[in-house]
């Protein structure tokens, strides 16, 4: 593809939750100068002119933006399919009616666990029942509902109950996504990386649920990279399918690219077309010419594109190296050591929760 098919608009990093696996940047104070309504509308228009058909409104919590209804209406006027990615907090019946009238097409709600105590602990705030109520509102208004569950060491043993809850919520689709270790998840990796035994049991539960629910609910299960033999492709290939725009206007090829030591590209300074086609940031790892060995000579180079650039940087300090998740990477021992420590802790401790979680702070709290 030479044009993006989707825009992920991270409207704000304000969020009522404090999830310890949040992939938002650690330095949240850098993103408080948010794009105005008019600036976002211009970004939507430019993305549509580039060819984007999907508009994903995310954050943080996009419902913290007072203009979210107006922004949804803009997306509808541009002919874009809009998806609200929300915690569910703030989705009152009145707000939901406004969003439906404005043309919102789809809602995705996050769930942390299947019972209130654990759910509220992982979310960092009482939120369990409000999520259930939000899902009920979504179904009453006739929207398709996706439920997203980030899986990790702290909740993976609850997979059966989570699937039962999602079924009860009436979800049309569930994303069971094992944690990606960026942002706060990277800081909390020791408390989040699951054991092999947990994963094997979860996979069996998911297989059985897919068979039982195949006519009613789509179940997407994403394994954690650290337990894979080969890495996943970076968003289908660096800067090939989607544009991410952060609250302050930084345009990114993927959610975690803000961590990379590359030149910034901001929609307040350049058009989205220029950013997509000419910016050094979007050009840097596009295609396969940049690849080192063993990626350059690998038959999978156009399948996984060398893996995740952000993960390579996170683990090795060099975004151009082969993703250490790959068993062919010269840095693969970094991953195997982390996996070994995760499984050794399971043998030494009474349960999976022996390492404390550091919750994500409010964006305006001081981050040390």
Q: Which residues are annotated as a binding site for [4Fe-4S] cluster?
A: 15, 19, 22
> Do 229 and 327 contact (CB within 8 A), yes or no?
yes
Hey, CA dihedral for 311, 316, 317, 319, is it positive or negative? negative
Quick one: which of 262, 253, 256 has its CA closest to 311?
256
Question: What token pair was written down for 240?
Answer: 């090939």
**C-alpha torsion angle, residues 350, 227, 85, 83 (rounded to 10):** -150
> Do 21 and 184 contact (CB within 8 A), yes or no?
yes
Question: What token pair was written down for 221?
Answer: 């299960």
Give the distance from CA 213 to its chain's centroid.
Answer: 25
Looking only at the bridges linking them, the beta strands covering 242-245 and 251-252 are antiparallel
The 6-12 sheet, strands edge to edge = 218-222, 173-178, 145-151, 106-111, 81-86, 54-59, 6-12, 242-245, 251-252
- CB count within 10 Å of CB 251 equals 28
**C-alpha torsion angle, residues 95, 101, 129, 115 (rounded to 10):** -140
Give the distance from CA 193 to its chain's centroid.
Answer: 17
Strand-pairing partners, residue 6, are 54, 242
- Residues annotated in a binding site: 15, 19, 22
User: 3-state class of 244 per DSSP?
Assistant: strand
Q: How far apart are CA 59 and CA 210, in angstroms?
A: 30
Largest CA distance in the chain: 58
DSSP state of 263: -
């Amino acid at each position: 593809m030479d044009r993006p098919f989707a825009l992920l608009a991270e409207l704000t990093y304000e969020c009522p939750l404090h999830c310890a696996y949040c992939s938002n940047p650690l330095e949240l104070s850098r993103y408080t100068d948010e794009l105005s309504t008019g600036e976002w509308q211009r970004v939507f228009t430019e993305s549509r002119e580039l060819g984007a058909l999907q508009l994903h409104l995310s954050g943080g919590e996009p419902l913290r933006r007072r203009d979210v209804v107006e922004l949804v209406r803009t997306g509808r006027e541009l002919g874009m399919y809009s998806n609200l990615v929300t915690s569910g907090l703030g989705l009152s019946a009145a707000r939901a009616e406004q969003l439906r009238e404005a043309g919102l097409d789809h809602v995705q709600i996050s769930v942390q666990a299947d019972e209130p105590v654990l759910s509220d602990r992982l979310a960092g705030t009482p939120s369990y029942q409000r999520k259930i109520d939000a899902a009920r509102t979504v179904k009453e208004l006739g929207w398709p509902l996706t439920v997203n569950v980030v899986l990790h060491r702290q909740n993976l043993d609850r997979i059966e109950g989570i699937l039962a809850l999602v079924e009860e919520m009436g979800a049309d689709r569930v994303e069971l996504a094992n944690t990606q270790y960026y942002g706060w998840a990277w800081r909390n990796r020791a408390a989040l990386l699951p054991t092999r035994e947990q994963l094997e049991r979860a996979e069996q539960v998911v297989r059985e649920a897919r068979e039982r629910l195949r006519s009613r609910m789509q179940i997407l299960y994403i394994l954690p990279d650290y337990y894979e033999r080969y890495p996943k492709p970076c968003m289908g290939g660096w800067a090939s399918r989607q544009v991410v725009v952060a609250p302050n206007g930084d345009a990114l090829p993927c959610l975690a690219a803000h961590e990379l030591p590359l030149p910034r590209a901001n929609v307040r300074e350049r058009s989205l077309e220029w950013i997509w086609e000419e910016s050094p940031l979007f050009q840097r790892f596009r295609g396969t010419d940049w690849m080192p060995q063993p990626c350059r000579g690998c038959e999978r180079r156009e399948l996984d594109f060398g893996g995740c650039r952000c993960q390579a940087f996170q683990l090795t300090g060099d975004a151009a190296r082969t993703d250490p998740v790959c068993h062919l990477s010269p840095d693969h021992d970094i991953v195997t050591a982390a996996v070994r420590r995760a499984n050794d802790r399971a043998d030494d401790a009474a349960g999976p929760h022996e390492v404390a979680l550091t919750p994500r702070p409010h964006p305006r709290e001081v981050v040390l």
